[in-house]
Amino acid sequence: MASNNEELPEASVQNVLEQDSLKWIFVGGKGGVGKTTCSSILGVLLSQVRSSVLIISTDPAHNLSDAFQQRFTKSPTLVNGFSNLYAMEIDPTVEKEESVTSDGMDDFLSDLSNAIPGIDEAMSFAEMLKLVQTMDYSVIVFDTAPTGHTLRLLQFPSTLEKGLAKVMSLKSRFGGVLSQMTRLFGVDEEFGEAAILGKLEGMKDVIEEVNRQFKDPDLTTFICVCIPEFLSLYETERLVQELAKFEIDTHNIIINQVIFDEEVVESKLLKARMRMQQKYLDQFYMLYDDFNITKLPLLPQEVCGGEALKGFSHHFITPYKPSLARGSVEELENRVAALKEQLKDAEAELEKVKKGKQKI
Kindly write down the DSSP assignment for every residue of 257-325, as one continuous string.
EE--TTS----HHHHHHHHHHHHHHHHHHHHTTTSEEEEEE--SS---SHHHHHHHGGGGTS----SS-
CB–CB of 88/94 below 8 Å?
Answer: no
Overall residue count recorded for the chain in this entry:
360
Sign of the torsion formed by the C-alpha atoms of 259, 260, 261 and 263 = negative
Instruction: Say whether 198 counts as a known binding-site residue.
Output: no
263 a known binding residue? no
Distance separating alpha carbons of residues 253 and 84, to the nearest angstrom: 26
Closest-CA residue to 334 (of 266, 267, 259, 272): 266
Give the whole-angstrom CA distance, residue 128 versus residue 92.
Answer: 9
- The annotation status of 32 as a binding-site residue, yes or no, is yes
37 is in an annotated binding site: yes
In order of 262, 263, 334, the CA distances from 321 in angstroms are 9, 9, 18
Question: Where does 116-266 have alpha helices with state H?
Answer: 119-135, 147-154, 156-174, 177-184, 193-202, 204-214, 230-245
Q: Is 36 annotated as a binding residue?
A: yes
- Catalytic residue numbers, as ranges: 59
Q: Is 58 annotated as a binding-site member?
A: no
Report the alpha-carbon distance of residue 135 to residue 149 in Å, rounded.
Answer: 25
Nearby residues of 123 by Cβ (< 8 Å), 6 or more positions away: 96, 109, 160, 163, 199, 200, 203
148 is in an annotated binding site: no
34 is in an annotated binding site: yes
**Is 229 part of any known ligand binding site?**
yes
Query: Binding site for ATP, residues?
Result: 30-37, 229, 256
